[in-house]
Amino acid sequence: MRHCTKMLVFLVLNIPVFSGFVGAAYFDCSLNTLTMVERLICSDQQLSQLDDHVVAASYARMIDADNTTMLRKRQRGWRRQRDQCKNVLCLRDIYIRRLEELSEEFVILDGIVSVTANINMDSYLVHLSVKGRKHQYNFDTSMETYLATEREQGWNTGWKGPYLFVRQSSGIRSCWRCTVEIVFRIKDGHLIYIGNVYVRHDEPFGSSYSNGKFLDIYNKFEINSLTSHAAAPSPWLVLYESKGKLEVDINRTWEKNQPRFKKNQALIQSSLTETKQLVKKVNWTHSETENGLIFNAVLSTYCNKTKFTDELLRSAEILMDKDREKIFREIILQVIPGEHPGTYHANSNNMQQFIMK
């Protein structure tokens, strides 16, 4: 049984309430009929965010609760208490206490494996627990604040084939693997963690998995000295499970990237043929040709295609000035064939495993 609506509680609470805009409260701050308390809320950025969070969390609990009448009664009583406040400090205290009441541990998924969550009001992180019959894994995640529908919440966690996918996010979208899926499975009756894979923030759980293979992205050079972030070399990686861990399938990775590789090779060859006498005099910085050259060299080195790598290194001598060619060669020397991508956020290495007696 999946309790999707309860996930809304932690989604609206897990980034600092200091972000956002004044006037984001759940009433129209432009009205002339506002009470003194409502005017205080509209004038304070943190209170405005807190008001959003309390309304959303209360709504989620009412949808999922057996006794909505009692919850509505409690919410009205809390509002009467809130409206007795005379200053911002009083309001902040009463909002935070209400959020703590609404943010007790809740179930995201239950069954042979359960996934539960609770919120740390000090750090604004969500603590997730994935529990099997004898093993439990705990880790933190942080997600963006938004009022999600029940359908959207159901995208974050679930089974696809033999694998359970649980999303972990830094709450930002500026890097390729700021959001990943933690992958588990049952093996010999035990819950095991097999790795993590890239997923877009707007994709449903298990989007990276199909026909026994996982799709990831090589992000080692997402930030580099030769290209923009958008043009950084980003080969797709094809992975498979082996002995309870995710491993890179080099041959399928090479095949997966062939359309882009061949397009880049044609562009490189055209540049060599048509402008061979001029390229050393031209500023090729961030050019499409140079971006294609870097992508192809990273891919061929990663997949142990030394013939292509050697050809691309010779092309770089012609198409790049000496300084940029030096950086290019330094990048290629850092490529490790078959290595796993990295995860760039503070929550990526906090997995804890427990064996329950």
Query: What is the reported pLDDT for 87?
Result: 93
Distance between CA atoms of residues 157 and 166, nearest Å: 5
Distance between CA atoms of residues 272 and 255, nearest Å: 25
Q: Are residues 31 and 56 in the same domain?
A: yes
In a domain, 159, yes or no: yes
Paired tokens of 142: 């942080």
Instruction: Report which secondary-structure segment, H or E, holds 300.
Output: helix 288-302
In a domain, 229, yes or no: no
Q: Are residues 52 and 192 in the same domain?
A: no
Asked if residue 117 lies in contact with residue 129, where contact means CB atoms within 8 angstroms, the answer is yes
Q: Are residues 212 and 315 in the same domain?
A: no
Paired tokens of 22: 């004044």
Q: Are residues 138 and 191 in the same domain?
A: yes
Distances (CA, A) of 219 to 170, 233, 259, 329, 341: 16, 8, 19, 18, 6
Provide the pairing of β-strand 352-355 with 106-109: unpaired
In a domain, 233, yes or no: no
Distance between CA atoms of residues 307 and 296, nearest Å: 12
Q: Are residues 179 and 154 in the same domain?
A: yes
Which of 47, 81, 102 delimits the end of a domain?
A: 102
In a domain, 65, yes or no: yes
Q: Which of 156, 238, 154 is nearest to 200 (CA)?
A: 156
The domain of 322 spans 256-334
Distances (CA, A) of 256 to 212, 213, 214, 238, 334: 15, 12, 12, 8, 22
Asked if residue 292 lies in contact with residue 333, where contact means CB atoms within 8 angstroms, the answer is no
In a domain, 224, yes or no: no
Q: Which of 108, 1, 86 is nearest to 40 (CA)?
A: 86
Q: Is the pTM value of this prediction over 0.95?
A: no
Q: Are residues 98 and 37 in the same domain?
A: yes
Q: Are residues 116 and 215 in the same domain?
A: yes
In a domain, 247, yes or no: no
Strands (E), the chain: 106-109, 114-120, 125-131, 135-141, 157-160, 163-169, 179-187, 190-198, 209-210, 213-217, 236-242, 245-248, 352-355
Q: What amino acid occupies position 40? A: L
Which residue, chain included where needed, has tokens 């809130």?
82
Q: Are residues 130 and 207 in the same domain?
A: yes
Q: What is the dihedral of CA 230, 344, 236, 203, to 10 degrees?
A: -90
Asked if residue 279 lies in contact with residue 257, where contact means CB atoms within 8 angstroms, the answer is no
In a domain, 154, yes or no: yes
Q: What amino acid occupies position 159? A: W
Q: Are residues 213 and 121 in the same domain?
A: yes
In a domain, 63, yes or no: yes
How many separate domains does the chain show?
Answer: 3
Question: Which letter, b or e, does each residue of 86-98 get, where b requires 16 or more Cβ atoms within 10 Å of its Cβ?
Answer: eeeeebbebbbeb
Distances (CA, A) of 73 to 67, 89, 171, 354: 10, 25, 34, 40
Which of 78, 102, 126 delimits the end of a domain?
A: 102
Query: What is the reported pLDDT for 45?
Result: 87
Asked if residue 270 lies in contact with residue 242, where contact means CB atoms within 8 angstroms, the answer is no
Q: Are residues 90 and 22 in the same domain?
A: yes
Distance between CA atoms of residues 291 and 295, nearest Å: 6
Q: Are residues 173 and 310 in the same domain?
A: no
Paired tokens of 162: 């033999």
Which of 70, 102, 134 delimits the end of a domain?
A: 102
Model confidence over 257-311: pLDDT tens digits? 999 999 999 999 988 887 655 544 444 444 889 999 999 999 999 999 999 999 9
Model confidence over 193-203: pLDDT tens digits? 999 999 988 88
Query: What is the reported pLDDT for 348?
Result: 47
Q: Say which DSSP state 126 is in.
A: E
Q: Are residues 194 and 116 in the same domain?
A: yes
pLDDT in tens, the chain (357 residues): 434 333 333 333 333 333 333 334 567 888 888 899 999 998 888 888 888 888 877 766 665 555 567 677 878 888 899 999 999 999 999 988 888 777 666 677 888 999 887 766 555 677 788 999 889 999 888 754 333 333 344 568 899 999 999 988 876 777 888 889 999 999 999 999 999 999 988 888 999 999 999 999 999 999 999 999 999 999 999 999 999 999 999 999 999 999 999 999 999 998 888 765 554 444 444 488 999 999 999 999 999 999 999 999 999 998 888 999 999 999 999 999 999 987 544 444 466 665 554
Query: What is the reported pLDDT for 10?
Result: 39
